Amino acid sequence: MENISNTRKVVIHALLIIGSIVMVGPFLWMVLTSLKTVGEAAQIPPKIFPEVFQWSNYKEVFSSFPFAEFYWNTFFTTVIKTIGQLFLCSLAAYAFARIKFPGRNFFFILYLSVLMIPPQAFLIPQYQIIANLELLNTLTALILPGLFSAFGTFLLRQFFMTMPDELEEAAKIDGCNHFQIYWRIMLPLAKPGLIALAIFTIIWSWNDFLWPLIVNSSPDKMPLSAGLASLQGQYSTNYPVLMAGTFLASWPLIIIFMFFQKAFVEGIALSGRKG
Amino acid sequence: MDIKKQKSTLRKNDMYWGYLFIAPTLLGLLIFYIFPVFQTFFYSFNDWGDFGSYSWSGLENYEEMFANPEIWDSFRNTLIYAFVMVPISIAISIIVAVLLNQKIKGLTFYRTLFFLPVVTMPAAIGMIWKWLYNADYGIINHILGWFSIPGPDWLTDPNWVLISIIIVGTWGAIGTNMVILLSGLQGIPKSLYEAASLDGAGPTYSFFKITLPLLSPTIFFVAVISFISAFQVFDFIFMMVSPTNPAIDSAQSVIYLFYHYAFVIGEKGIAAAIAFVLFLVILVLTILQFRLQKRWVHYE
């Protein structure tokens, strides 16, 4: 596609700009609404900009809900789940890709079958396990099942599979055991895969909704997603406050994405190629 | 023989390392995923009483489930949602990916904007769209008003609510699909297009004769994962449509109802039966897709 004519360029830009407005418009409207008074938000015809920026909507969100705790709960569980998955999945992935042991294929198929199971098929017993361990309304409840991922193991295995045998042979001759090969040689080489998995885990953990809704009903142990649901319960029609809360819940991941967007996009694209 | 002995201890050694490495995930998956699936299956044949007690009831839950119009509705809603949302979102994503695969300025900028909904939590997306859809003060009906189109009650009119949900689902799905399709497009050799244009082929011809066939394995992958996630739609519907909404029967998805039965009213047996039937539906459709792929997916 070397030379695109100017008219074609104009058409392409026009289409992309219309598309972009549809994609970004809702976010802009959220931010603008979050700074209005209830009266302004309900005005007909709608006013685009508020007369005075109503920062008090944000104050209201923080004063009526433990939003600082929501942040901490979301942040902490996301970090632990991500580190945990990277370590545990890569260990298993290394074994499936590089170590020969009896039953390897059987276990691998077992992992793959977990990939096919939709979440609702294990949510009830998962809830019971957490309840029986008396872990309801704790951060551990949010973290525990999410530490283990068949998807992550599968994704990283595809990476370890493509690595040359020579590296491993050389390390074995030098007397390295499998853990040393895994830790010193294979992990650094699997960096693109690890980044992709980290991004998936971060997005999924930050945005996870149904599981926290089920296990953590006490506000100080909720993540942002479930917190939004309770905010809606209290301010059912006060849209400026609701939009302030929505903005507060979604900006951190959006900012992280803006900074690391190349890694995000490549990570998602990679899963498509490896999958 | 010495070498043989050495080899067998090495192999034994390998075995220990292998089991050691998979042990943590294997245990976690067994406890939290694999065993619970069998348990859910078992629960679907039990009647749940108060305080978590249950007793064998045979096929009663399934009978009750199939006699319940609410549950039929939820399956119908979810099927319509998936079969309308997935093709539309893939079609739009292909168009966007093809547009972004040109030599023009601002590519990264556009790509970033289209990707935004992917990193936004579905609960937040539901909240934002609920406000946009608001029948009295919502911006969508206001914009329709400029063209003298009377806007519907998007979320409370039973004839419209599913359409509203499909629009939000499509809007949120474009980013992921587009990125995967774009990477598929970049794998198509440029020389093919050059050869075609030397032969006098226009862009439309190239799109249907080169782009679509060579992109079909990627489209297939996107279709499979989109269908699976469409069948599990829950988060943003939960935020947009409350249980007291007059249009709830035309809006609730299977998972919405599953959540209601399992964790709101404590009918875990029926919820387990719902979960299992949905599992079967997803499984059959995925197998069907793999069967049908020979008809339209071109592998080199």
Say if CB A34 and CB A243 are below 8 A apart.
Answer: yes
CB pairs under 8 A between A and B: 283
Question: What are the start and end residues of each CATH 1.10.3720.10 domain in chain A?
Answer: 59-274
Sorted by sequence, the CB contacts under 8 Å of residue B8 that are 6+ apart come out as: none
Which CATH architecture does the domain made up of A59-274 adopt? Orthogonal Bundle (1.10)
What are the structure tokens assigned to A72, written together?
A: 């901490």
Contacts with B96 from chain A: Cβ below 8 Å: 16, 19
Domain boundaries B68-296, corresponding CATH code: 1.10.3720.10
Write out pLDDT tens, residues A30-64. 999 999 998 898 887 888 899 889 999 999 999 98
For residue A10, give the chain B residue with the closest CA: B104
pLDDT at position B177, please?
94
Residues from chain A contacting residue B238 (CB–CB below 8 Å): 209, 229
Are B94 and B272 a contacting pair, CB within 8 Å?
Answer: no
Q: How many angstroms separate the Cα of B291 from the Cα of each of B54, B191, B212, B230?
A: 40, 32, 20, 20
Quote the pTM value: 0.91
A71 touches chain B (CB under 8 A): no
CA angle (B275 as vertex; B269, B278 as ends), nearest 5: 145
Query: Which residues on chain B are in Cβ contact (under 8 Å) with A19?
Result: 96, 110, 114
Q: Token pair of B285, please?
A: 């459709």
| Residue A2 banded pLDDT, cuts 50, 70, 90 | very low
DSSP one-letter code for B137 = T
pLDDT at position B2 over 70: no
Contact check, Cβ <8 Å, A44/B142: yes
What mean pLDDT, rounded, does chain A reach? 91
Rounded to whole angstroms, the Cα distance separating B170 from B182 reads 18
> Pick from A46, A118, A225: which is nearest to B279 by CB?
A118
> What would the pLDDT profile of B85-100 be if each residue is shown by its tens digit?
999 999 999 999 999 9
Query: Apex CA A231: angle with CA A44 and CA B125, to 5°?
Result: 65
d(CA B188, CA B298): 13
C-alpha gyration radius of chain B? 25
Complex ipTM = 0.91
CB A248 within 8 A of CB B293: no
Is residue B55 packed enough to be buried (19+ CB in 10 Å), middle (13-18) or exposed (0-12)?
Answer: exposed
What residues in A contact B278, CB-CB < 8 Å?
118, 120
Residue spans of alpha helices (H) in chain B: 2-29, 35-43, 60-67, 69-100, 107-115, 122-133, 139-146, 161-185, 190-198, 203-206, 212-230, 235-240, 248-251, 254-259, 268-296
* Nearest residue of B to residue A227, measured between CA atoms: B123
Whole-angstrom distance, CA of residue B38 vs CA of residue A17: 50
Nearest-by-Cβ selection for A254 from B120, B131, B136: B120
Is the pLDDT reported for residue B55 higher than 70?
A: yes
Residue of A nearest to B254 (CA): A120
Res A43: pLDDT? 83
Given an 8 Å threshold on Cβ–Cβ distance, is B29 in contact with A102? no
Q: How many other C-beta atoms are found inside a 10 Å radius of the C-beta of residue A135?
A: 17
CB A239 within 8 A of CB A32: no
In this prediction, residue A153 carries a pLDDT of: 95
pLDDT(A275) > 60:
no
Q: Which of B43, B118, B123 sits opposite A228 (nearest CB)?
A: B123
Q: Give the model's pLDDT for residue A130.
A: 96
Asked if A150 reaches chain B (Cβ–Cβ under 8 Å), the answer is yes
A184 part of contact set with chain B, CB < 8 Å: no
A267: nearest Cα among B92, B253, B179: B179
Chain B residues closer than 8 Å to A122 by CB: 32-33, 36-37, 40
pLDDT tens-place string over residues A92-138: 999 999 999 999 999 999 998 898 888 889 999 999 999 999 999 99
- Where residue A1 falls among pLDDT bands split at 50, 70, 90? very low
Q: Does residue B158 have a cis peptide bond before it, meaning omega lies within 30 degrees of 0?
A: no
- In this predicted structure, the answer to whether residue B48 has a pLDDT above a threshold of 60 is yes
Read off the amino acid at residue B70: E
Nearest alpha-carbon partner for B126 in B187, B68, B96, B171: B171
A16 in contact with chain B, both atoms CB, cutoff 8 A: yes
Contact state of A207 with B174 under an 8 Å Cβ cutoff: no
Contacts with B103 from chain A: Cβ below 8 Å? 1-2, 4
Residues 6+ away with beta carbon under 8 Å from A243? A30, A31, A33, A34, A57, B127, B128, B131
**Which of B229, B268, B185 lies closest to B86 in space, CA to CA?**
B229
C-beta separation of A53 from A169 below 8 A: no
Residues of A in contact with B18 (CB under 8 A): 95, 99-101, 104
Write out pLDDT tens, residues A224-251.
999 999 999 888 889 999 999 999 999 9
Residue ranges per structural domain of chain B:
2-43, 68-296
Mean pLDDT in residue range B57-68: 92
Nearest to B82 by CA among A124, A118, A225, A15: A118
**Closest listed residue to residue A16, CA positions, set B188, B177, B109:** B109
Comparing CB atoms, the residue among A46, A153, A250 nearest residue B121 is A250
Mean pLDDT of chain B: 91
